[in-house]
Homo-oligomer: A and B are copies of this chain.
């Protein structure tokens, strides 16, 4: 960094004090309108650029919120981000996006990094391999507001924005059962993550409520990337299931592809339902049934809660942590409609 124009340079040039320049630049109403305009004009002329670092250091406030994401490549996450931004920019806060690429280690590093950068609060979705939330202890100790969304720790005592994964899993499975399916396979990911576990529990409960026996052989846990999903589907196909409940849309699409390769039809031979309502869902053939998961809304709610917490903290008030559940719903398209197809 070469020599930058500072407020002192402007002050010197104008024969006034740096304080006045600072106030003028921040449009403090105490400063005479004329002076203010002069300051802005001179700053412009001298190519002055505000130094956020110095300002934040002095103010002991960064007006920045950190975001810890497990990944950024999904439609869902992008929507959440959009929702957060919408709320946060309105309050003139910046955001600092980090992502862990599903690695717990990177999540820890990101948490420390954001703390060192003195963010005013964080919004987080846990990585796949995160085992506990000890790395957020420094935040709790300092009472720096945190809001968890989607991928949360079920037992932890903090603000959470989630959907009801249990009932989503239940309803998706129930829907398949109502289509006449009796042998429903389930492809999911690491069950230590709440979202997957809850859906799985919903799946099991639905089976039970409909007098179907749960079989471990019909469950595959994998990373949900293409290769893993192909393998999982192939192995499950050996069990001759008549339906698949897949925990995300991308994997569901891959699953359908593999089913087709085996010369089977979807949904006639095997019904498939995904999760997330990604854009790809109605681009594939047959169009994918899925569970709609309102990312934008989740982002908005998470950000709104965080802003509330930050404000209350700034005025030394208490804030009651709460868990908020966002509505979600089944989106039935073609891939699961076995009964209709049979009729026709």
Known: A2-B143, A49-B138, A284-B284. A57 touches B60 (CB 8 A): no
Bound-complex Cα distance A254 to B81 (A):
24
Q: Is the CB of A53 within 8 A of B279?
A: no
User: How many interface residues does A have (CB within 8 Å)?
Assistant: 46
Least Cβ–Cβ distance between A172 and chain B, in angstroms:
20
- Asked whether any CB of chain B lies closer than 8 Å to the CB of A238, the reply is no
Give the 5 A-B residue pairs with the shortest CB-CB distance, closest first: A73-B78, A285-B285, A253-B283, A52-B116, A1-B60
Least Cβ–Cβ distance between A67 and chain B, in angstroms:
10
- Asked whether any CB of chain B lies closer than 8 Å to the CB of A340, the reply is no
Known: A2-B143, A60-B1. A52 touches B117 (CB 8 A): yes
- Asked whether any CB of chain B lies closer than 8 Å to the CB of A213, the reply is no
Known: A1-B60, A53-B56, A72-B78. A113 touches B94 (CB 8 A): yes
Contact of A62 among B53, B56, B118 (CB under 8 A): B53
Bound-complex Cα distance A284 to B250 (A):
11
Known: A53-B117, A57-B54, A73-B75. A2 touches B253 (CB 8 A): no
Count of this chain's copies in the oligomeric assembly: 2
- Asked whether any CB of chain B lies closer than 8 Å to the CB of A191, the reply is no
Contact of A52 among B47, B97, B101, B118 (CB under 8 A): B118
Q: Is the CB of B2 within 8 A of A47?
A: no
A interface residues (Cβ-Cβ under 8 A, vs B): 1-2, 4, 47, 49-54, 56-57, 60-62, 72-73, 75, 78, 81-82, 94, 96-97, 101, 112-113, 115-118, 138, 141-143, 226, 250, 253-254, 257, 279-280, 282-285
In the complex, the chain B residue whose C-beta lies closest to that of A61 is: B1
Bound-complex Cα distance A233 to B118 (A):
50
Chain B residues within an 8 Å CB radius of A50: 116
Least Cβ–Cβ distance between A233 and chain B, in angstroms:
13
In the complex, the chain B residue whose C-beta lies closest to that of A82 is: B101
Bound-complex Cα distance A202 to B294 (A):
40
Chain B residues within an 8 Å CB radius of A282: 257
Bound-complex Cα distance A266 to B56 (A):
58
Chain B residues within an 8 Å CB radius of A226: 279
Chain B residues within an 8 Å CB radius of A73: 75, 78
Chain B residues within an 8 Å CB radius of A283: 250, 253-254, 257, 280, 284
In the complex, the chain B residue whose C-beta lies closest to that of A81 is: B72
Chain B residues within an 8 Å CB radius of A52: 113, 116-118
Contact of A118 among B51, B60, B143 (CB under 8 A): B51
Chain B residues within an 8 Å CB radius of A78: 72-73
Chain B residues within an 8 Å CB radius of A53: 53, 56-57, 62, 117-118
Contact of A116 among B49, B113, B118 (CB under 8 A): B49
Chain B residues within an 8 Å CB radius of A118: 1, 51-53
Chain B residues within an 8 Å CB radius of A285: 284-285
Least Cβ–Cβ distance between A249 and chain B, in angstroms:
10
Contacts A1-B60, A253-B280 known; 12 new A-B pairs at CB < 8 A: A2-B142, A4-B142, A47-B141, A49-B112, A52-B118, A53-B53, A53-B57, A72-B81, A97-B97, A280-B283, A284-B285, A285-B285
